[in-house]
Amino acid sequence: TLGVLVTLAVVAYQAVVRLERGPGAVTTTTQPAVSPQVPATPGPSRTASTPSTPSTDFVLPPGWKLRDDGTGFAVPVPASWRFSRDKDGRPRWSDPKTATFLLIDQTRQPKPDPVRDWLANEAARRDGYRAYERIRIEAVDYYDRAADWEFTYTSASGTPLHVLNRGFVTAPDQAYSIYWSTRADRWAAELQRLRVVFDGFRPART
């Protein structure tokens, strides 16, 4: 799981977060390709503020749309967010006002242990993040198997960033990573939107 997610995290880091020099997607696919992620300013942390098990009675909030990239998954995203792809083709949605963004990665070859996968990814990538600081890497209750990698780091422009990278397996041949990045000073304010993303995400296969 995390292996895939780790790859996502690395690639995301390289291509998607190049402008902030931030992290990448998760670790539930193949293998990461660039340095890791993480911040310098610890913001509000942990699972207390981040949802785990997806909601079975999810209702799309006003001002949100269900988005996909044609591969079968669906994810709720604020209607005003802009869609783009990183250099490896991964879908990314970003808030034009705050620079908060969501990146989705996936793999058909999940790793068996998401936590171990994230730990390996962190060891390989952490030096690529300025002022990287881990908040937590731990298993969470989400789909079949899942783990969160939460950290902070400072972008090349000096902005403290806060990232949550969730890698999870939904089927024997399907895993995803949901990579959420925001300015550290906006972490608490953005948590409700992150909850909507986790509650409303629907994989191609379970």
Q: What is the DSSP string of 70-113?
A: SSS-BEEEETTPEEEE-TT--EEEE-TTT--EEEEEEESS--S-
Write down the pLDDT at residue 57.
84
- pTM for this prediction: 0.77
Q: Within 13 Å and on the Cβ side, how many CA atoms surround 110?
A: 22
Q: Which of the residues in the chain have pLDDT under 70?
A: 1-53, 55
Instruction: Look at residue 27 and tell me if it is in a domain.
Output: yes
Task: Look up the domain containing 69 and give its range.
Answer: 2-200
Instruction: Look at residue 123 and tell me if it is in a domain.
Output: yes
Write down the pLDDT at residue 173.
96
CA dist list (Å): 81 to 4, 38, 63, 127, 156 = 26, 23, 10, 31, 24
Write down the pLDDT at residue 8.
44
- What's the CATH code of the domain at 128? 3.40.1000.10
Write down the pLDDT at residue 205.
86
Write down the pLDDT at residue 51.
56
Question: What is the C-alpha separation between 202 and 205, in angstroms, rounded?
Answer: 8
Instruction: Look at residue 205 and tell me if it is in a domain.
Output: no
Instruction: Look at residue 97 and tell me if it is in a domain.
Output: yes
The number of distinct structural domains making up the chain is 1
Instruction: Look at residue 92 and tell me if it is in a domain.
Output: yes
